[in-house]
């Protein structure tokens, strides 16, 4: 009796939240739907200073036009401005979004996109509504209910998306073969030192590579992996493999990247199998 009252309250509150969210989304009123999304153009790229912080991203000057008023804005990525600009070249198009009527509150996105429907929170509330009865059932009637209740739908969801994920990984592996190779150079190594509550300091190093594409675009990019000794890599000559239609996708070691994607695909499949096995174990023990 006591449990049921709380369960009804739990489901009622989060059900109302989910319903409100879905209604708002249908009416086109969510923040994600109302956000103005436009495309900005990088006008200038400043070379990062060796030893400076990587958290602000590569300093760029971006111009964009407000679709509502037609007004042109020239801005920089100073302070908290959305996604960090990690790859930049003059002329690159990046996403710029802001609340309607407030272009001064702009945020950058690595790629121009349509944006979602703002269903993240309603979906989470719906999950909580579902998790409530499953948890109560697991507590009152035994752990198989938890396995079936949680792993069952999760396994179905993962299995549904598995073919798409495999196709995506295969496409990425194929794209590695089509990459163009150009010489590049590590122009700076950025450093971020942080101290935790216990007084331990940790250092995060980010090499910055610079290369010119075959069609003449001078790219500056953070390169967070694939260098064996990032601390002493300044001035190092490297070979950059990049996707011709988007130099933002580049790697230094094609074979390592290929192995990484294959491993990722295997982990994906094994993960689905494990979740499905847990759900089946729950059904057997029911």
Partner 1 sequence: MPIIAGASPPGHDSPAALARGFLTGGVVGASPAALVVGAVTGKPPLFVAGLVLPALCGLLFFLAGRPRRIREAAAVPRTALAVVESLQAVRGEASDIPVRFELSVAPDDGPSYRVEITQDFNLVDLPDYRPRGVVVVQYPPDRPWRVRIVKRPTPQWEERAAAARLDSAPATVTVTAPPEGGAFCLVAPLGLLLGAAAVVLPFRADLVGQDVTAKPPSAARPSVTSTSSASSTSTTVVSSVSGTVALGPGRSFLDKGELGRALGSLTRGGDTRRALTVVVRERLLSIVFSPSGTRTPGFDPRTLPRSRFSALVEDATATLGVRSPRTWQITADRLTGSLVIRVAVSGAEGTASLEADGQGRVVRRAPAR
Binding-site member from 75, 147, 148, 208 for partner 1 (CB under 8 A): 75
Backbone angles phi, psi at 168, to 5 degrees: -60, -45
For the bound state, the minimum distance from the C-beta of residue 214 to partner 1, rounded and expressed in Å, comes to 29
For the bound state, the minimum distance from the C-beta of residue 262 to partner 1, rounded and expressed in Å, comes to 37
d(CA 128, CA 4): 16
The pattern of x and - marking residues 199 through 218 that bind partner 1 according to CB under 8 A reads: --x-----------------
**Binding of residue 94 to partner 1 (CB under 8 A):** no
Binding-site member from 76, 113, 225, 239 for partner 1 (CB under 8 A): 76
Interstrand relation of 60-65 and 180-195 (parallel, antiparallel or unpaired): unpaired
For the bound state, the minimum distance from the C-beta of residue 166 to partner 1, rounded and expressed in Å, comes to 42
**Binding of residue 168 to partner 1 (CB under 8 A):** no
d(CA 217, CA 251): 17
State the DSSP H helix or E strand holding residue 204, giving kind and residue range, or none if neither: strand 201-212
With CB under 8 A as the rule, give the number of residues binding partner 1: 30
Backbone angles phi, psi at 34, to 5 degrees: -85, -15
Residue 76 or 170: the one with the smaller Cβ distance to partner 1 is 76
- For residue 26, what are its two tokens? 């249908």
The pattern of x and - marking residues 38 through 67 that bind partner 1 according to CB under 8 A reads: ------x-x--xxxxx-xx--x-x------
For partner 1, the binding residues in 266-285 under the rule CB under 8 A are none
Q: Mark 202-241 as b/e (b = at least 16 C-beta within 10 Å).
A: eeebbbbbbbebeeeeebbbbbeeebeebeebeebebebb
Start-to-end Cα distance in the chain = 24
For partner 1, the binding residues in 172-191 under the rule CB under 8 A are 191
For the bound state, the minimum distance from the C-beta of residue 78 to partner 1, rounded and expressed in Å, comes to 4
d(CA 117, CA 96): 17
For partner 1, the binding residues in 95-114 under the rule CB under 8 A are 99, 101-102, 104-105
d(CA 171, CA 277): 28
For the bound state, the minimum distance from the C-beta of residue 271 to partner 1, rounded and expressed in Å, comes to 34
Contact criterion met (CB below 8 Å) for 208 and 48: yes
Distant-in-sequence, close-in-space partners of 249: CB < 8 Å, separation ≥ 6: 175, 242, 243
For the bound state, the minimum distance from the C-beta of residue 224 to partner 1, rounded and expressed in Å, comes to 17
Distant-in-sequence, close-in-space partners of 254: CB < 8 Å, separation ≥ 6: 176, 179, 241
Residue 77 or 257: the one with the smaller Cβ distance to partner 1 is 77
Longest Cα–Cα distance of the chain, Å, equals 72
**Binding of residue 20 to partner 1 (CB under 8 A):** no
Query: Which stretch in 70-78, 212-220, 239-247, 275-283 sits in contact with partner 1 by CB under 8 A?
Result: 70-78
| Chain residues that interact with partner 1, rule: CB under 8 A | 2, 6, 44, 46, 49-53, 55-56, 59, 61, 74-79, 99, 101-102, 104-105, 191-195, 201
């Amino acid at each position: 009796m006591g449990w049921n009252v709380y369960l009804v309250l739990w489901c009622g509150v989060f059900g109302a939240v989910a319903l409100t969210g879905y209604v708002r989304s249908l009416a086109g009123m969510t923040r994600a739907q109302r956000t103005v999304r436009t495309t900005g153009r990088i006008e200038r790229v400043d070379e990062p200073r060796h030893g400076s912080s990587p958290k602000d991203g590569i300093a760029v000057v971006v111009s964009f036009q407000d679709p509502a008023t037609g007004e042109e804005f020239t801005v920089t990525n100073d302070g908290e401005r959305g996604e960090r600009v990690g790859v930049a070249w003059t002329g690159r198009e990046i996403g710029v979004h802001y609340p309607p009527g407030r272009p001064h509150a702009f945020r950058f996105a690595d790629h121009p996109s349509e944006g979602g429907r703002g269903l993240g929170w309603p979906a989470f509330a719906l999950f909580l509504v579902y998790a409530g009865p499953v948890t109560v059932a697991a507590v009152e009637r035994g752990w198989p209910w938890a396995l079936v209740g949680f792993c069952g739908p999760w396994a179905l969801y993962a299995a549904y998306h598995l073919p798409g994920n495999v196709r995506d990984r295969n496409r990425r592996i194929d794209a590695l073969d089509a990459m163009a190779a150009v010489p590049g150079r590590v122009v700076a190594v950025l450093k971020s030192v942080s101290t935790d509550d216990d007084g331990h300091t940790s250092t995060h190093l980010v090499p910055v590579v610079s290369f010119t594409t075959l069609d003449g675009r001078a790219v500056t990019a953070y390169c967070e992996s694939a260098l064996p000794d990032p601390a002493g890599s300044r001035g190092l000559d490297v070979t950059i493999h990049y996707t011709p239609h988007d130099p933002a996708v580049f790697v230094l070691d094609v074979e390592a990247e290929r192995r990484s994607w294959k491993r990722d695909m295997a982990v994906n499949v094994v993960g689905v199998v494990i979740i499905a096995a847990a759900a089946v174990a729950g059904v057997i023990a029911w």
